[in-house]
Amino acid sequence: MALDTKKRSAEPGEIARNTSEHLFVSWSAQGGLKQVVIDRAEGSWLHSGSRKILDFSSGLVNVNLGHGHPKVVRAIQEQAERLCYVTPGFGEEQRAELARLLAEVTPGDLTKTLFTTGGTEANEHAIRIARMFTGRHKIMTQYRSFHGQTQGSMTLGGDNRRWANEPGITGIVRFFNPDPYRSPYGVSAQAALAHVEEVLWYEGPQYVAAILLEPIVGYAGLIIPPAGFLKGLRELCDKYGILLIADEVMTGFGRTGKWFAVDHEDVVPDLMTFAKGVNSGYVPLGGVIASAKIAKHFDTNVLWAGLTYAGHPLACAAGVATVNAYRDEGIIERGAKMGELLMKELKALAARHPSVGDVRGRGLLGGSSW
């Protein structure tokens, strides 16, 4: 039956009813859901009528600049007046400029970007590129991890959200995380690396295209690996001709007090995925950026990948404005400074409550275990 589409009032009760009757809400059984209706947002605050709510999680850890940043809003408005959409087969100013800026702020020789509409597609395309480049099929990931919710990226993730999606895609092999608080390896990077190499031996390193991981695990437990683990993984990958893929979807763009979490260990991956903070979540955008060597491979080999909305002009205009704001307003440095305050307060909380077993974090990505 066709729905009546004439303009309706924006009363919160009607919005809630329309949501309940016509909208699926992610990760939830639908019956009985009662959502708070948000009508506007500014800075760190969400507004629901006269109620003011602190957005302490920055949306879904993506609104790194805060809500309603005037430079980003203006960039979207100006781009919408010029050009809302053009296919990825055409050149476009904001798309090209954002790709150039990303090559500047990402580590090492990461140089060429394939844009997507979010983090899950970024990880899907990263493993596809790795398989095309190496001619190998297997991808190794960590058990405590989350890499998105499409078929492939959900299989990449190791936590229990993957169960409903199984069997998923083929070729995914997992290893145990080094968790300084709870894993059997403790703070020993070498013990954790020995475990990874042992898994490699059983799987056949000649069949492994890439090791993909979050440099700091996000939704699956906020786990910071022991010092030296990421560098050791880089060395293992080089030893066996395996690509290292860093999933910086959550940790990128200042969240950890540096541009990217791999920067804390001075590690340069072969492929790096991103989304969320690239434009502070104002318009859906993600991507994967590749090293010069991988980029050169596709000069003479077809890149069998792409999306209708890859590098959407509105999203890229927001991205250009966001990256420039990070630079011009010292946002990355502020994240590091505020992270010191956050850790100080988390440690004070732990000291007052014996049920808190551990606090940890980098920059403004912090958490605790109870």
Question: Domains, the chain, ranges and CATH?
Answer: 70-328 (3.40.640.10)
User: With 0-12 CB in 10 A as exposed, 13-18 as middle and 19+ as buried, what is 363?
Assistant: buried
- Each residue of 79-111: pLDDT tens digit? 999 999 999 999 999 999 999 999 999 999 999
- Each residue of 15-26: pLDDT tens digit? 988 988 999 999
147-152 mean pLDDT: 95
The Cα 313–Cα 262 span in angstroms is 28
State the CB neighbour count (10 A cutoff) for residue 70: 9
pLDDT at 13: 87
Structure-token match 């199984």, residue found: 166
The Cα 81–Cα 18 span in angstroms is 31
pLDDT of 275 strictly over 60: yes
pLDDT at 323: 98
Amino acid identity, residue 366?
Answer: G
Q: Check: CB of residue 30 under 8 Å from CB of residue 23.
A: no
The Cα 332–Cα 314 span in angstroms is 24
Phi and psi angles of residue 8, each rounded to the nearest 5 degrees, phi first: -115, 165
Structure-token match 């990263």, residue found: 126
pLDDT of 132 strictly over 60: yes
Phi and psi angles of residue 94, each rounded to the nearest 5 degrees, phi first: -70, -35
pTM metric for this prediction: 0.95
Structure-token match 């190499």, residue found: 197
**DSSP string over 46-73:** EEETTEEEE-TTHHHHT-TT-BT-HHHH
- Each residue of 239-265: pLDDT tens digit? 999 999 999 999 999 999 999 999 999
Q: What Cα–Cα distance (Å) separates residue 204 from each residue in 126, 135, 136, 212, 287?
A: 21, 14, 11, 17, 29
pLDDT of 5 strictly over 60: no
pLDDT at 7: 54
Q: Which helix (H) or strand (E) holds 24?
A: none
Q: Check: CB of residue 120 under 8 Å from CB of residue 149.
A: yes
- Each residue of 196-239: pLDDT tens digit? 999 999 999 999 999 999 999 999 999 999 999 999 999 999 99
pLDDT of 3 strictly over 50: no
pLDDT at 9: 54
The Cα 168–Cα 158 span in angstroms is 12
Long-range contacts, 155-159 (Cβ 8 Å, 24+) = 156/123, 156/127, 156/212, 157/220, 158/220, 159/219, 159/220
Per-residue confidence band for 279, with pLDDT thresholds at 50, 70 and 90: very high
pLDDT at 1: 41
